[in-house]
Every structure is written in structure tokens, then in C-alpha cells.
A = this chain, B = another copy of it.
Amino acid sequence: MNQPIQGAPPPSVIAIKSSCANCSMHQLCLPMGLDNADLDRLDKIIGRRRRLARDERLYQMGEPFRNLYAIRFGHFKTFQVNPSGGLQITGFQMAGELLGMDAISGDRHHCDAVALEDSEVCEIPFSRLEDLFGEVPTLLRHFHRLMSQEITREQNVMLSLGNMRAEQRFAVFLINLSARYAARGYSPDSFQLRMSREDIGNYLGLTIESISRLLSRFKNQGWLKIDKREVTLLDPAILKAMAAGTAQCSPMA
């Protein structure tokens, strides 16, 4: 139950001398808003940094829950598996975001997390984090905000899956990525998709073929350029309008 799983190489463990204060993500991540003293206390409990190769698994459903993980760099996907084998990607996570919050209830992970590219995470022992909550109210506050953010994020996905047509879901997806890259200081209009078409389709409740057709349609409309996984949004305004539901695409053009 506890040993490495089905042939996946044990994740490399590297002791890197690095701190939250040095981390470029500390304004988005768990330590947001902490003063130097508190930053230090948080640093002290961070277990270790873990490097993961593309497709390597950070944790798996059913594993006992001990740590949260803050992404230092790289991208992840999280997914749930059906009793009958069906798989649903529940999110794509990027640097500064927290993994594992769904495992707090139940003491076991409720989904799998897999690296979409070579990535690094900070391991945060949850019991030690809990100890710290009593001493650093600012930290607790921000932690609650992060959990709550995750709840609203998922509500938005539900809205998309339950209520929107394919093209609108896809526009929402692109605009969401764009905004998150913008928040990290990257271009909002030009970025790499770190996930396959298949992953996108699964996440949005569509097939890979549908994603491919949507990309072609948006490209033919002149709304974006797409070269392999490199996207350039040529008309972010109309994509935003589609995401908001105030514009729609002609069936074909």
C-alpha cells in the first residue's frame, strides 16, 4: 500500500537550500502577506523540495494524506477515477498553486496529481502547518482563502460543464489560462498549452476531436493562432465575450 506504484520511478528527492522569501511565487502562494519573521517560521516546516519529471505522479488516490504541495514551477493535472475506469480531469495547476486540499477530509487523497512537464513542488507537512496556524493568524487566513478559491474555481467548472456549449467552454478555458498567466507576469495573449488536446477535452467534457475542431474554427475566424501547443490570442476581446456568453461563433466559417 505504501511502496512506489506500478513502475513509476521513485520521485527524485533533492535537498535544495531555498526559501519562500526567495521564491518568485511567494506573492501568490501560501506565504502571501506574511512578514519576514513569519515567513521564516513557515520556511522551517517546509519538508523538502521535490522534482518531478513529465508524467511523474505526485500522489495517487487512496494514498494517506500527509502533505500539501505548493508548486514552485511547472504544471500539473489532477484527475479523479471512476469505479468503472472513467477518468475526469478536475483541474490544471500552475506555479504558486496548492495541491492536495481535497485530501484533508478523509485523510486520503481523493485524486491523482501528475506533472505535465518537469516541475518542482514544496512539500508542506500538513500537521506542522496546522501547528503553525495557531501562531500565525495571517497564514491561517490566507489558507482559508486558498481553500475557498478552490471551491469557487470548481463551481465555475461546474457552470461550464453543466451550462455551456462546447465553444463557450473552450473560450472560458482559454481566457482562464490567459488570466492566470497574466497574474504571474507572463503574456496573457501568448502561451504554451502544457496539456494534450485529449486532456483539454476530458477536462471540458468533450472529445479530442471536438477540441481539434474548435481550435480550427477559432483559427479560421482569425481569433487565435495555434502552432502545436503554442497559442496566440489574436482577438482576446471576442474570446472574452464568448466566455461571458455575450457572443457566439457561427457554426462554421
Residues on B with beta carbons closer than 8 Å to the beta carbon of A104 = 144-145, 147-148
- Which of A8-16, A153-161, A226-234 participates in binding chain B? A153-161
A162 interface contact, C-beta 8 A: yes
A136 to B90, CA, bound (A): 33
| Binary CB contact string for chain A from 80 to 111 against chain B (1 if under 8 A, 0 otherwise) | 10111111101000000000011111100011
| Interface of A toward B, CB cutoff 8 Å | 80, 82-88, 90, 101-106, 110-111, 130, 133-134, 137, 140-141, 144-152, 154-159, 161-164, 202-205, 244-246
A145 to B202, CA, bound (A): 28
Residues on B with beta carbons closer than 8 Å to the beta carbon of A148 = 101-106, 147
List 17 extra interface pairs beyond A150-B151, A161-B161, CB under 8 A.
A82-B245, A86-B163, A86-B245, A90-B155, A101-B147, A101-B151, A104-B148, A105-B145, A105-B146, A105-B152, A110-B152, A111-B155, A147-B147, A147-B148, A151-B154, A154-B155, A162-B204
B158 touches A90 (CB 8 A): yes
B130 touches A137 (CB 8 A): yes
Residues on B with beta carbons closer than 8 Å to the beta carbon of A102 = 148, 151-152, 155
A158 touches B159 (CB 8 A): no
Q: Which of B110, B147, B149, B244 is within 8 Å of A155, CB to CB?
A: B110
